[in-house]
């Protein structure tokens, strides 16, 4: 069974594949995921597309031992809030490490996130690894 | 044709390794004997969330960072693999989107067992040389499978290599001076539609398949370019195991010492479409300006593509400036797993 609507998956490809968010030229704030309107500047905001570098650090993390549907076979895995060097924070899996600590430097990698089913769509996107 | 060459190159090898000894232990074989007869110590194993597409993306990103080009200047992407994640839906479009090259480009997947990556290089050479695209991106990527207990299981591994092909003289780090191929219908190895694992001809994969095509293409290239073995500093041959490339060199009177710097199968296994391309990347990491490299791939079914490559002065500056992951980083960043974890990673268990 598909985990989400195909059109939503398709629309989020730039965000998931290469960390495309937005940036407000007026107040110099970066947004990820993308915002169409700058909540600080409202109508004065000048929103434009921005691709994030993928570099950041671990802001917080947890170890998942009982994964949700589709992630059961990956447990235990580390799920972290990563603070990107441009400012925004996002939630992502950490690969290739069993132990991490707050403040560890990480970089984005392109990985398989979930498969809808044996015959379904494969969803790709960002995860992070220690640098 | 105008000169074309490699503007950037990059690789990706998964972090996990399994030793031949460990696989042999499960099947009651003598690990030492198999390790020695195949010339392989260990092989790479993809993580549970890695496939040919993710390896291709990482190798492509490294190649683009090395090349220092804008991804949207890439006009063609070809991904060669025998383990494309989808039977229908291209890996090349996933790569194109992940590197930011869409939408003004042509893209397609290629399949020719272990030589689909070099077939991509040839296509890109044609498109770039004919001024149809500014840059072409050719990738060989695989997460190959071997049937449990089969001889292939000791070698079938995962990895990828990507090359940005261009024509601007000052950008080229290795000029591809000539290429030629040797192709026949030889049934040495195949996998039918929907089949999980490949079948192969055992000993038949040697003389009539690997050696005939590797030697055929290499000698055709010598004739075409008027060169001989002594003119080249390095030889990179397809490496299904650690023995065949050395044996092929000996059969052609080539010093095996010229093959060893580009031979990585003993420590990462046979990465199929990534195999000889990764070997080339390893040589490009150490080659000096002016040195010549001969690369010959082999794909079962069967065919070989041979390339005469000359390293340019531009390589030292670009190598120095590149701060992404290199082959040596991937080789050193490893973690061993046992057969049980390997079975889980490769989804060999039916649940």
Catalytic residue among B42, B50, B58, B82: B82
pLDDT in tens, B10-39: 999 999 999 999 999 999 999 999 999 999
Find the CB nearest B49 among A13, A51, A95: A95
- Assess whether B82 carries a catalytic annotation: yes
Of A14, A74, A112, nearest to B54 by CB-CB distance is A112
Number of domains in chain A: 1
The per-residue pLDDT for range B275-298, each reduced to its tens digit, is 999 999 999 999 999 999 999 999
pLDDT tier at B1 (50, 70, 90 boundaries)? Answer: low
ipTM associated with this complex: 0.96
Token pair in block for residue A98: 């069993």
* Nearest alpha carbon to residue B50 among B41, B42, B59, B63: B59
Task: Output the pLDDT for position B312.
Answer: 98
% residues pLDDT > 70 (chain A): 98
Q: Does B47 touch chain A (CB under 8 A)?
A: yes
Confidence at residue B348, expressed as pLDDT on a 0 to 100 scale: 80
* Contact by Cβ (8 Å): B210, B194: no
With contacts defined as CB-CB under 8 Å, which chain B residues touch A113? 49
Crossing angle of helices B275-284/B116-129, nearest 10°? 60
**Which whole number is the average pLDDT over A8-37?**
97
Note if B114 is an active site residue: yes
Crossing angle for the helix pair B91-99 and B52-67, to the nearest 10 degrees: 40
CB contacts of A109 in chain B (<8 Å) are 54, 58
Q: What is the structure's pLDDT at B346? A: 87
Using CA atoms, how far apart are residues B158 and B82, in angstroms rounded to an integer?
A: 11
Q: Which two tokens stand for residue B19?
A: 């030793």
Q: Residue A131 domain-assigned?
A: yes
The number of helices, as runs of H, and strands, as runs of E, in chain B is 12, 14
**Cα B136 from Cα B126, distance rounded (Å):** 9
pLDDT band at A118 (very low <50, low <70, confident <90, very high): confident
pLDDT, residue A2, reads 56
Every domain of chain B and the residues it spans: 4-172+316-345, 174-314
Structural domain containing residue A95: 54-131
- Residue-level length of chain B: 351
Chain B CB within 8 Å of residue A98 CB: no
Q: What's the pLDDT score for residue B345?
A: 87
Question: Average per-residue pLDDT in chain A?
Answer: 95
Q: What percent of chain B has pLDDT over 70?
A: 100
Classify burial at A11, counting beta carbons within 10 Å of its beta carbon; exposed 0-12, middle 13-18, buried 19 or more: exposed
When the candidates are 3.30.1340.30, 3.40.50.300, 3.40.47.10, 3.40.640.10, the CATH number that belongs to B174-314 is: 3.40.47.10
In a domain, A123, yes or no: yes
Report the pLDDT averaged over residues B135-153. 95
pLDDT of residue B2: 80
Q: Is the pLDDT of residue A117 over 90?
A: no
Q: Does B99 touch chain A (CB under 8 A)?
A: yes
User: Residue B251 — very low, low, confident or very high, per pLDDT cuts 50/70/90?
Assistant: very high
Q: How far apart are CA B281 and CA B302, in angstroms?
A: 24
Residue B74 predicted with pLDDT over 90 = yes
Q: Is residue A107 part of a domain?
A: yes
Q: Which CATH architecture has domain B4-172+316-345?
A: 3-Layer(aba) Sandwich (3.40)
Verify whether residue B124 is a known catalytic residue. Answer: no
What pLDDT band is residue B189 in, cutting at 50, 70 and 90? very high
For chain A, percent of residues with pLDDT exceeding 90: 90
Residue B348 half-sphere exposure, CB side, CA atoms within 13 Å?
17
Whether residue A103 is contained in a domain is answered as yes
- B233-247 pLDDT, tens digit per residue, is 999 999 999 999 999
CB contact under 8 A, A124 and B53: yes
pLDDT score for A123: 97
Domains B4-172+316-345 and B174-314 share a fold: yes
């Amino acid at each position: 069974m598909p985990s989400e609507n195909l059109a939503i998956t398709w629309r989020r490809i730039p965000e998931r594949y290469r960390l495309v968010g937005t940036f407000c030229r007026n107040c110099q704030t970066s947004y990820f995921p993308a915002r169409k309107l700058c909540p600080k500047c409202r109508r004065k905001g000048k929103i434009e597309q921005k691709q994030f570098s993928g570099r950041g650090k671990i802001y917080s993390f947890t170890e998942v031992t009982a994964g949700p549907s589709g992630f059961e076979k990956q447990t235990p895995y580390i799920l972290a809030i990563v603070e990107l060097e441009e400012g925004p924070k996002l939630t992502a899996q950490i690969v290739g490490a069993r132990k991490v600590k707050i403040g560890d430097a990480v970089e984005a990698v392109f990985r398989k996130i979930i498969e809808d089913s044996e015959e379904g769509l494969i969803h790709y996107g960002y995860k992070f690894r220690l640098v | 044709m105008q000169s074309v060459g490699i503007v950037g190159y990059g690789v990706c090898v998964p972090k996990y390794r399994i030793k031949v000894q460990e696989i042999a232990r499960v099947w009651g074989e003598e690990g030492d004997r198999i390790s020695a007869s195949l010339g392989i110590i260990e092989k790479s194993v993809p993580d549970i969330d890695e496939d040919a597409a993710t390896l291709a993306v990482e190798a492509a990103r490294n190649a683009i960072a090395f090349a220092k080009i804008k991804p949207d200047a890439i006009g063609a992407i070809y991904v060669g693999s025998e383990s494309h994640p989808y039977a229908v839906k291209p890996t090349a479009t996933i790569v194109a989107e992940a590197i930011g090259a869409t939408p003004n480009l042509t893209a397609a997947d290629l399949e020719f067992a272990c030589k689909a990556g070099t077939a991509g290089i040839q296509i890109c050479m044609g498109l770039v040389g004919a001024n149809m695209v500014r840059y072409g991106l050719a990738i060989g990527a695989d997460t190959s499978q071997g049937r449990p207990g089969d001889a292939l299981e000791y070698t079938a591994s995962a990895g990828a290599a990507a090359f940005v092909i261009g024509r601007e003289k000052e950008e080229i780090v290795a000029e591809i001076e000539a290429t030629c191929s040797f192709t026949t219908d030889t049934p040495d190895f195949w996998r039918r539609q929907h089949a999980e694992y490949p079948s192969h001809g055992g000993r038949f994969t040697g003389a009539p398949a690997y050696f005939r095509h590797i030697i055929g293409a290499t000698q055709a290239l010598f004739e075409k370019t008027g060169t001989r073995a002594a003119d080249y500093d390095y030889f990179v041959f397809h490496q299904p195991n650690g023995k065949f490339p050395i044996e092929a060199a000996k059969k052609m009177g080539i010093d095996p010492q010229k093959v060893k710097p580009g031979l990585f199968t003993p420590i990462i296994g046979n990465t199929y479409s990534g195999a000889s391309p990764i070997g080339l990347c390893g040589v490009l990491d150490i080659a000096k300006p002016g040195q010549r490299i001969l690369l010959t791939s082999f794909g079962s079914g069967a065919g070989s593509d041979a390339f005469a490559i000359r390293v340019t002065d531009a390589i030292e500056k670009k190598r120095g400036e590149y701060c992404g992951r290199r082959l040596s980083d991937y080789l050193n960043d490893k973690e061993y797993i046992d057969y049980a974890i390997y079975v889980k990673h490769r989804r060999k268990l039916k649940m």
